[in-house]
Amino acid sequence: MGSDHAELRKFVVPEFVFGSGALGLVGRYARNFGARKALVVTDPGVVQAGWLDRVLDSLKAEQIPWVVFQDVTPNPKAHEVAAGVRFYRDNGCDIIIAVGGGSPMDCAKGIGIAHVNGKNVLEFEGVDEVPMPGPPLICVPTTAGTSADVSQFAIINDTIRKVKIAIISKTVVPDVALIDPETTTTMPTELTAATGLDALVHAMEAYVSNAGSPVTDLNALAAIPLLVQNLVPAIEHPLDIEYRNNMMMGSLLAGLAFSNASLGLVHAMAHSLGGLSGLAHGMCNTVLLDHVVDFNYPAAPEHYDQISRAMGLELDGLDPECRKKVLLQGIVGLRSDAGINTTLGALGITRADVHQLAVNAFNDPCMATNPRKASVQEIEALYEKAL
């Protein structure tokens, strides 16, 4: 698991600029790409928070014309991608700039590859199924969470089949990520909590992934203490740039890890939930995490113990069963401190949904790298525990 040095491993990462003021470089990067007209993909929340205007000011300074596409909802839908492709073509754009959380970034990735390849975005489902890369893509993340700005993943909702599909391809790694912690100061409390915990799940799943490597392990383990120590302070002091900076750095490191080691059962189950119910992705991950760790622990105890230590939990002199309990309590405690005390049942999921949810999760590509094989029945049992 992750330590076999004989295997060849590749590590893909975009050019990125990290730090306060990174957002202001959008215009310069767009000009460097030779942009004549930019499609700016965002959502109403980002517009309201004022970050879109800052991006447009930067484009204005470089005299680059733009059009804005903001018809993006949480868990971006295939028909929204298709509308974006038409809008891109009708306006003669030649570069895409995504400003927002995972939804605008995933939508932007979908628009780019669907436009260039002349196909419906759903046809790219799976690993390495995208023939041609899209036009230049600049990402400006505004949450410390999804890491779509550095990853080779795009997750799109197929509303006909009610499943979320995963597109995993180095063609969807952005050309540049402008990672500015200041943009996260306007996140509502629940979004800070859910996206921060999403980043923690990224680090944990990447670290126990059976496709891990020394480089992804290093990034995953470095992300965990940053996220665990700064999440609650960032919620309590939303304008404190030091906490926001540490959360953004934790999210970045977790993104570098999972983009290259992939994920596992938590994400497979969360994608299934998001496809069927439209629930927020970070919230799904958060509610499922302890149940999946409980299930996975026997398959990777040393790795989970390392995660516990990175979280600052005390394991000395404990047997494996107690070590597992300490980790589970640590996860539940952090979630509770972050203000998330809900269940799938409280979020509207019922027993009647469980079988279909489990089938969809079983078929998700993230299952391939989970440290423990899980049957449909075992996944059903985990959903039931989370109700």
Give the pLDDT confidence score for residue 2 in this predicted structure. 47
CA distances from 135 to 34, 38, 175 (A): 11, 10, 9
Domain range 187-386, CATH architecture: Up-down Bundle (1.20)
> CA quadruple 151, 153, 154, 159: dihedral positive or negative?
negative
What was the pLDDT predicted at 198?
98
Q: What is the pLDDT of residue 8?
A: 86
Q: Which residue has the tokens 């038409």?
A: 86
CA dihedral 364, 365, 366, 371 (to 10 degrees): 110
Contact 137, 109 (CB under 8 A): yes
With 0.85 as the threshold, say if the pTM is over it. yes
Instruction: Tell me how far apart the alpha carbons of residues 226 and 232 are, in angstroms, rounded to a whole number.
Output: 11
In the sheet where 163-168 sits, what is the strand order? 126-127, 163-168, 153-158
Distance of alpha carbon 159 from the chain centroid: 20
Ranges for all domains in the chain classified under CATH 1.20.1090.10? 187-386
% helix, strand, coil for the chain, step of 5: 55, 10, 30
The per-residue pLDDT string of the chain (387 residues; one tens digit each, 9 = 90 and over) reads 544 455 788 899 999 999 999 999 999 999 999 999 999 999 999 999 999 999 999 999 999 999 999 999 999 999 999 999 999 999 999 999 999 999 999 999 999 999 999 999 999 999 999 999 999 999 999 999 999 999 999 999 999 999 999 999 999 999 999 999 999 999 999 999 999 999 999 999 999 999 999 999 999 999 999 999 999 999 999 999 999 999 999 999 999 999 999 999 999 999 999 999 999 999 999 999 999 999 999 999 999 999 999 999 999 999 999 999 999 999 999 999 999 999 999 999 999 999 999 999 999 999 999 999 999 999 999 999 999
Alpha-carbon separation of residue 368 from 18, 63, 262 (angstroms): 32, 47, 9
Tokens of 384: 């039931």
Residues paired with residue 138 on neighbouring β-strands, in sequence order = 97, 176
Question: Where do you find CATH 3.40.50.1970 in the chain?
Answer: 15-184
Q: Of 281, 271, 282, 294, give the one whose Cα is nearest residue 363.
A: 271
Q: In what order do the strands lie in the sheet with 66-69?
A: 15-18, 176-179, 137-141, 95-100, 38-41, 66-69
Cα–Cα distance, 24 to 195 (Å, whole number): 23
Q: What is the residue whose two structure tokens read 């995972």?
A: 102
Fold of 15-184: Rossmann fold (3.40.50)
